[in-house]
Structure 1
Amino acid sequence: MSDPRPSLLEPQAQRELLTAALPAELAFERSLAGQAAAEPEHDRLRVLQLNLGKLCNMQCSHCHVDAGPHQGHTQMGDAVVDACIAAIERLRPAVLDLTGGAPELHPRFRDLIRAARQRGCHVIDRCNLTVLLLPALSDLVGFLAEHQVEIVASLPQPEETSTDAQRGDGTWEASIEALRRLNANGYGQGQSERQLTLMSNPCGTQLQQLTACDELRWKRELQEKAGVQFDRLIGLNNMPIARFLQQLQADGHVNCYLKLLQGAFNPSALAGLMCRDTLSVAADGSIYDCDFNQMLDLPLSGGADIRSIDLEQWKAQPICWGNHCFGCTAGQGSSCAGATA
């Protein structure tokens, strides 16, 4: 039976589409120069982010990695997992950040958490929430709480209609049930060792504009509607990569969205860019400045991978830029840790 999903553009075709979407004088690096902004460099390695593969129990419309149930063949192999554990010892990051797909579906997800905690790392699980309801993972919430893993959970909006529109019918109810399980295990109660962070992304081509008032509103609404609690709210602009770029192209909105991002370029967001303190590792062990560069096949230069990279090599490499970087520098700024400005 043929696959009904439309094929995504290859990374090179995506890069070409993003380059063509803006005149050369408005390209990202030219915008840096036009603002007299110093080109950011690698600083101190703080985060080792591992993309364990694109396998996911969901298939969201805004996903920048084309994750889904059809991606089981993309999982990180045992040899690369072992190399990542060795790299934790060698590179000594403060944070191990596990992402995917749904990283919880990787068979060695728990091995990585144990190894990182034994070496003093704070661990982040980038969770879609619904994965926690799978029968095969019934004990996972307790494991995460025991090992003091921070949960950064995707929840587009604090209401059912818009959440289901982005992520599929029934997502809201499943997400709320997962949040209840997390709350029952000590998450969302103001404890630093069991932190529950919600990550929102706006609808369509809107920019993320969260404020402290929005966080209070979310907390009030989720408590009143569903009796659930969380600790912190962060936001992420929708990145013009993979599935969201494909939708933009189908709607004829690629140029408009890139112009929106470019017009909202904020030099104040540069200092907090995640590419300055993060090393992103793909399932095959290749290394990147960020998960977005990974999806566009823009690796670090120099030929090293997670098996061999050292801190001096990483710091010496220039950050690889492209027009997609406007997604992280528009408005409040946008990163895996939330706003950067």
Structure 2
Amino acid sequence: LETRKAEFSQTSAYEVAYGVSEGTPVNARIQLRGEPDKPSEVVQRRFLEVLGGDAVAENEAGSGRLQLAHWLTRPENPLTARVFVNRVWQWHFGSGIVATPSDFGFRGAQPTHPELLDWLTSEFVANNWSIKQLHRLIMRARVYQIASDAHPTGIQKDPENKLLWRYNRRPLDAESMRDSMLAVSQQLDNTKPKPHPFPDVNTWGFTIHHPFHAVYGSSHRSVYLMQQRNRRHPYLELFDSADPNVSIAKRQTTVTPTQALYLMNSEFVHAQAYWFAHRVAVKEPTVKGRVRLFFEIAHGRQPTEEDFNAAVDFVTDYQEQLPDDDQSTRDQKSWSAFARVMLTSNGFLFID
């Protein structure tokens, strides 16, 4: 009984969320000569005076973030909507209509299609700032649906593709890559995520030199992965995900040997390949049917004759190099290996 009482005394009375909460709003005082122990008159919370100086009402509760959002989205301020629309366009095409997403001023890049940006912005505001409607509007356009195939005339006249005569081929981002692997292997968990298994708050304390750090496995979408401000998730960091410790306007895209090594050796990739192969094998008993289904699921197209021959040769050669296992084990291992090839191919990892 005493042991149980001791355990209960070390247990937090409430569930703890890994996040932030509202504090008590206060108006700061001017510090004379910068000395914190020499406070002067109170300065009411307000927007920058050089940009209008609107003040927060004295009886307004909260931190002021809601008031700031209202200021930013007023109809007479078109900049916020333009910047947001440009960010969404950048997400779909790899580059914004304004190439400097955080600088719409004189030192920033000029929009390649100013009328298009104005029209998209007006539609965005008219639709009550609906992000879903903005996505639909962009994705239904021909410029989004064209292929990335290049031709000599286009390359000669517009090598940087500023006129968007073709789609800019680009790799999947880290989250989309992981989610796609889980989806094709049918291991994506669409149920409501449970809380992360954090240790009790009484068992650890935060310090600058030894902050709390953990990586929790999950089969949910990558948006639900726990991210910490001071230590990035190892997978997301490897594949150029945004650093949660700083403001990132545009992710850097890299191609490194460590990324290739992860795709070849990661337990996660091997597990998804196994279940991908299992999914195909259950549905298609024949070699031809399996190759066709692999390409339909992973690449969204039918395999060519060259693709089919290469796939059959790969599976056959792989089986010949395996030890003398029974045939079912050899099939499972060889098709799992082929599934890894499909999951790590350019056709799966790049958006065309």
The TM-score bracket by the shorter chain reads under 0.3
TM-score, normalising length: structure 1:
0.22
Between structure 1 and structure 2, the one with the greater Rg is: 2
TM-score, normalised relative to structure 2: 0.22
User: Could you say which structure has the greater relative contact order, defined with CA pairs below 8 angstroms and 6 or more residues apart?
Assistant: 1
- Return the structure number with greater strand share: 1
